[in-house]
Amino acid sequence: MMVRIAAGVAATWMLILSAPLCLAADGTEGKKAESVSSETDPYVWLEEVEGEKALDWVRARNKISQSKLESDADFTTLRDDLLAIFDSNERIPFVRKRGDFYYNFWRDEKNERGVWRRTTLDEYKKAEPKWEVIIDLDELAKAENENWVWSGAQMLRPDYNRVLISLSRGGADADVTREFDMMTRKFVEDGFNRPEAKGGMSWIDIDHVFVSTDFGPGSMTDSGYPRVVKLWTRGEKMEDAKTVYEGEKTDMSISGSHDDTPGYERNFIRRAIAFYNNEVYLLKEDGSLAQIEAPNSAGKGVHCQYLTLELRDAWTVGDKTYTAGSLLVANFDDFMAGKREFTVLFEPNERNALAGYSFTKDYLLLNVLEDVASKLFVMQEGADGKWSKTPLVGAPALGTVSVSPVDSDESNDYFMTSTDYLTPTTLYMGEVGKEPEELKAMPEFFDAAGLTVAQHFATSKDGTKIPYFMLYRKDMKFDGSNPTLLYGYGGFEISLQPGYRATVGRAWSTQGGVYVVANIRGGGEYGPRWHQAALKKNRLKAYEDFAAVANDLIDRKVTSHDHLGIQGGSNGGLLVGNMVTLYPDLFKAAVCQVPLLDMKRYSHLLAGASWMAEYGNPDIPEEWEFIQTYSPYHNVKEEVDYPTVLFTTSTRDDRVHPGHARKMFAKMEGWGKDVLYYENIEGGHGGAANNRQSAFMTALAFTFLKQELFPKTEE
């Protein structure tokens, strides 16, 4: 298997942080975040996530929004249709191979919380496989009277009879980890069990695990993640486990992992100092650490004899400079011994970027984005040490394609998915060098007849060409009257690639709406340079890009101010907040989901401190000077007319504090602005804890957009 030890990035809101006021991110009594008071911030009391007064306020606003949106004649039908999509048994059950079985976690109408199950490959290839249920989360939640949400499972090689199961309450990032026995189908009573906290646990062998979690006062970072990783031996108390590494309180997180590849078993410690800033150490048998001496900004991976480096910045080694965005490979043991001999597997140009890579038994599968379209290649090291590169046989030429190994230790088989805005996701299984076999395809959840997709480029304020995709009806009149939804994210080097969006198709496109996705700077569509162009003091570039796309749509008479709406979540919620406050005349309506909005306080709320590499540190005057230019909570003004805004968030979001959305709405509501608010009591950062909640939240957003952007019908 490949151990990816690269620095992580924030998820988009749908892949897409409840601590009382004045508590530190680790839940202990902490600093009062710049001693904020009701005099400097009259709405600071809304940061008390589960305070009775705050929740009463939430329920009152929820009731108003529900009354307005649920009373819409089409709401119930839309919600039910969306739920049917989320619950459909015709969706693809994606699997992971472990031993002889293929495992899947699944939610549907009968399994609201979900089941963890498995099947054989022969069964999986059938239209209706027979599944063996391992854990029924609905039964477990009922038996334990907990709102459990699935967080994942890690199985122990080689027999896969023991599993570390992670579960969260209500979908929060904080979760528990429990040891599960596959033979008895029960949790191991005296096994490895980690109490609720942000962190994790991973197998080393049957008697040892790495655990990074809340060990008590001082054990968590300012970002609310573990500062300490320990090696825990079976039979001892967790608090007595041996400390392997301690990071600094100002670090983002510390973790340990075990590479269980046969013949290449190794242990690693990862110190995430910040986003795009990590140190990785090989943990030797004597307990000493050997650092992988590569740039902190580089992503680092180890597979068998190989070390891979994804460069975010240019790197000079001797007389050779390697370009930012490149993928390098070297022999791991030689590198650790001091040799610096690399092969460049990918080097970007102006129009492409590395989208990803993975190993099979004998090959490396390379995924490249060219103007936000996927290109797949197979690479192999020859006997002479040189790497060859050929296109992956059978890979689709258009759309978004991803590929991953079935079992990188044993075969050259791979899974491949292909999709675009109009083509339902298709799953293939193949062997390198042969034509892949189509295994399963998602059904058409909406009628795409008459719809088409086009890619355009808008020119931003500084002359940069910004790509965007537009899904619309072929017979659309370019008269400025088309209701148009513009979606964006623009952060953390995350790319927005074309994909089949059944909910958008049902709720928007088939109803006559135009759907647009903007690939603005801050994302990863053109690699690190595209992301770095909108970091910190350059953040406004992302918003200028988004405005350029909006203006291009208006100039091309796709739409007009009265019919143009925007949507985004998490960092995309910050995008929406800034478009509302900085460009109030450009849009008619906005959906702002699980957002950051108070950029003065963000680094003191939950996981906010971990994002200072993206936005800056508001406690440093010089940095607050530029941060405040994109802090919607501080830039909203009483005398300005703004688009109508629907704010949504989740009480159980322990990543982005719900106080952001609460306070922004309260300020605008206090000035009599046209705003709505809905807060799901469950759901975590994804906004929903189950399919029913997802359908309801999606229906709220699209009903709001329809009411605001579609032409009013005559009474």
Point out the residues that are catalytic: 570, 685
CB 419 within 8 A of CB 517: no
Residue 657 in contact with residue 47, Cβ under 8 Å? yes
DSSP three-state, residue 397:
coil
First and final C-alpha spacing in the chain: 63
Let me know: does 21 contact 53? Beta carbons within 8 Å: no
Helices 571-582/659-670 angle, 10° precision: 20
Q: Which of 177, 173, 204, 137 is nearest to 606 (CA)?
A: 173
Rounded Cα distance between 617 and 621, Å, is 9
DSSP 8-class letter at 557:
T
Sorted by sequence, the CB contacts under 8 Å of residue 168 that are 6+ apart come out as 148, 149, 151, 174, 175, 176, 196, 684
- State the DSSP string of 497-555: -----HHHHHHTGGGT-EEEEE--BTBSTT-HHHHHTTSGGGTHHHHHHHHHHHHHHHH
Pairing of strands 96-98, 101-106: antiparallel
What token pair was written down for 511?
A: 């109803």
CA distance 363 to 355: 17
- Is residue 407 helix, strand or coil? coil
User: Given strand 266-274, what is the order of strands in its sheet?
Assistant: 253-259, 266-274, 277-283, 289-291
3-state SS assignment for residue 715:
coil
386 φ/ψ angles, rounded to the nearest 5 degrees: -90, 150
Element (H, E) at 709: helix 691-709
Strands 162-169 and 148-155: antiparallel
Query: What does each C-alpha distance from 8 to 71, 225, 268, 556 come to in angstroms?
Result: 42, 13, 16, 38
Among residues 653, 643, 645, which one has the least CA distance to residue 687?
653
Distance CA 673, CA 84 (A): 35
Residue 656's CB: how many other CB atoms inside 10 A?
31
CB 79 within 8 A of CB 113: no
Per-residue burial over 460-490, b if 16 or more Cβ lie within 10 Å, else e, is: beeebebbbbbbbbeebeeebebbbbbbbbb
Q: How far is CA 388 from the centre of its chain?
A: 33
Q: Closest by alpha carbon to 592, among 608, 577, 571?
A: 577
Give the separation between CA 207 and CA 232, rounded to whole angstroms: 8
Element (H, E) at 573: helix 571-582
Structure tokens at 71: 């009373």
3-state secondary structure of 85: helix
| Cβ pair 224, 607 in contact under 8 A | yes
Length of the chain: 715
